[in-house]
Amino acid sequence: MEILYEWIDATNRILWSYLLIALLLGCAVWFTLRTRFVQFRMMREMVRVLGESANTPGAGSGAHSGEKHISSFQAFAVSLASRVGTGNLAGVATAIVVGGPGAVFWMWVIALLGASSAFVESTLAQLYKRRGRDSYIGGPAYYMQQGLGLRWMGLCFAVLISVTFGFAFNSVQSNTICAAWEGAFGFDPAMMGVVLTLLTLWIIFGGIRQIARVSSVIVPVMALGYIVLALGIVLFNAGHFVGVVELIVANAFGWEQALGGGIGAALMQGIKRGLFSNEAGMGSAPNVAATAQVSHPVKQGLIQTFGVFTDTLVICTCTAFIILFSGAPADGSVGGVQLTQAALSREIGPAGSIFVAVAILLFAFSSIIGNYYYGEANVRFITANRAVLFVYRLLVGGMVMFGALATLDLAWSLADITMGLMTLCNLAAIVLLGKQAFLLLQDYTAQKHAGIRNPVYVRGRIPELQDKGECW
């Protein structure tokens, strides 16, 4: 076991060197400039499209008579279910313990800039989606194969994401749920693991439409409840608000931190945990973005961009403020979700620990089923053999059980390795295909400027893309 830990630590140091961080930030800046700051200038359109999709299930052009599709809002809910999980409660706490309060600042930066990467990857996923048995299917593996003509690259990504989300990330989610419930109620992690495993298997054997239905109910309830609580704490501590913000910024750039190497730790932890939480540029959200029925690929790109803001700028910030307002010890004596529980208990009493336990159950369990779908979509890309998918579902259940019993450090370290590898693979693809997303964005904005409220895309409308996208 000691040898395994040493290998994992060495691999993480190589993967999460400044080179990978530079690639993430470099791509994010490039996409921000090339889209003319789409994540900021089209914020109002994001909200409008999301609102329309919530009231129009499966709407859009291209649907065949009798077909049932995932609505744009449902796809948003599934992707947010995966995003909003342990990264928002345990991940933020870990970032503050290891990188200091300054890590929160870099989480904001990666969200603001990385949202443009989320727009590009999800728009490409919509362009290259295909019709499946129950819904549209697509994602990075598909645009690597069809857009770049590199099936081997698609297969490589499909394997990485199936392992990352179905196995590594789900073990992290399960680990955090069990730790929270053991701390709040004294529940045996093994027994909690059995319950989680059975619930997971029951839902994932129902397919994407059942996953979408469950997510569209759980996600809004859990997110709004947590935000309301956090806003109450912020208002109660309004007098300390400016001081906490100054602490975050000072720790991100202060001379003391620079001399002690703290800025590097804050930068690395902020970007790692921010990426784990919002998944911008990682290549995960495009898998579910492709399932939505919309009239133009850009619509789902905008909606997924809004999901990055919701995850990091709202929910992660809520957790950071709760911890920093409380004065809970961030010296490593308490880590992960237990630090968030301790902070909330200081603010609202013993009920705080119970609230976090319930919140993490909803947050992380919704992530488990969302993560599973990412794996399923890519297993289907690798092979159409239903027996393989059946075995994969059982293995996912097994990893949920493994996470309940594993140590937190091991679970997080394994997730960091696989996340880094799949991110590198996806970044290479979206940089090469980015021009196609830019052309689609130009077409969408041109239609909006022409007074068309609901832009529509059909294959052949853009000469450079006339042979792209079989569903359009």
For residue 152, is it within any domain? yes
Q: How far is 260 from 222, CA to CA, in rounded Å? A: 39
The SS3 call for residue 353 is helix
Count of structural domains within the chain: 1
Residue the block writes with tokens 């609202």: 348
Is 96 in contact with 331 (CB distance < 8 Å)? no
**Rounded to an integer, what distance in angstroms lies between the CA atom of residue 141 and that of residue 143?**
6
Rounded Cα distance between 23 and 104, Å, is 20
User: What does pLDDT average to over the chain?
Assistant: 80
**pLDDT digit string, tens, across residues 325-340:** 887 776 666 666 677 7
pLDDT of residue 260: 43
Measured distance CA(157)–CA(302) in Å, rounded: 24
Enumerate the β-bridge partners of residue 130.
137
* H or E segment to which residue 262 belongs: helix 262-278
DSSP letters, 60-84, are STTPPTT---B-HHHHHHHHHHHHS
End-to-end CA distance of the chain: 51
* Nearest partner of 45 among 309, 306, 310, 312, judged by Cα: 306
Are 368 and 174 in contact, with CB atoms under 8 Å apart? yes
Q: What is the pLDDT of residue 313?
A: 83
Q: Determine phi and psi for 435, rounding to 5 degrees.
A: -55, -35
CATH code, domain with 168: 1.20.1740.10
What's the CA gap between 120 and 286, in Å, rounded? 9
Residue 467 belongs to a domain: no
| Residue showing tokens 């949920």 | 400
Q: Which residue has the tokens 């490039």?
A: 30
Q: Is residue 2 part of a domain?
A: no
pLDDT at 144: 96
292, β-bridge pairs: 70
Q: Is residue 468 part of a domain?
A: no
DSSP string, 409-437: HHHHHHHHHHHHHHHHHHHHHHHHHHHHH
58 closest CA partner among 142, 137, 135, 138? 135
Task: State which residues form the domain around 198.
Answer: 15-58+68-452
In a domain? residue 42: yes
Angle at 99 between CA 96 and CA 105, to 5 degrees: 75
- Let me know if residue 173 belongs to a domain: yes
Q: Is residue 459 part of a domain?
A: no
378, 287 contact by CB (below 8 A) = yes
Residue 24 CA to residue 340 CA, distance in Å, equals 28
- Spatial CB neighbours of 318, under 8 Å, sequence gap ≥ 6: 88, 226, 227, 229, 230, 231
| Paired sense of beta strands 130-131 and 136-137, if any | antiparallel
Tokens of 312: 């990091």
Please tell me the predicted confidence (pLDDT) of residue 200: 86
Phi/psi for 259 (5° steps) reads -65, -30
- Whether 7 is covered by a domain: the verdict is no
The pLDDT value given to residue 121: 95
Distance of CA 359 to CAs 127, 446, 458, Å?
Answer: 36, 43, 42
How confident is the prediction along the chain (472 residues), in pLDDT tens digits per residue? 566 666 666 666 666 556 777 788 889 999 999 999 999 999 999 888 887 765 555 444 444 444 456 677 777 776 766 666 666 666 777 778 777 788 888 888 888 988 999 999 999 999 999 887 767 889 999 999 999 999 999 999 999 999 888 888 888 888 878 877 877 777 888 888 898 898 888 887 776 666 666 666 666 677 677 778 778 887 888 788 888 888 888 887 754 544 444 555 666 666 766 666 677 888 888 988 888 888 999 999 998 898 888 878 888 888 888 888 887 776 666 666 677 777 777 777 777 667 777 777 777 787 788 788 888 889 989 998 889 999 999 999 888 898 888 765 666 676 677 778 888 899 999 999 999 999 999 999 999 999 998 899 998 889 898 888 888 8
pLDDT tens, residue by residue, 236-267: 887 888 888 888 888 877 545 444 445 556 66
Cβ pair 274, 110 in contact under 8 A = yes
* Spatial CA neighbour of 297 closest among 75, 131, 124, 452: 124
Position 395 scores a pLDDT of 92
Read off the pTM.
0.82
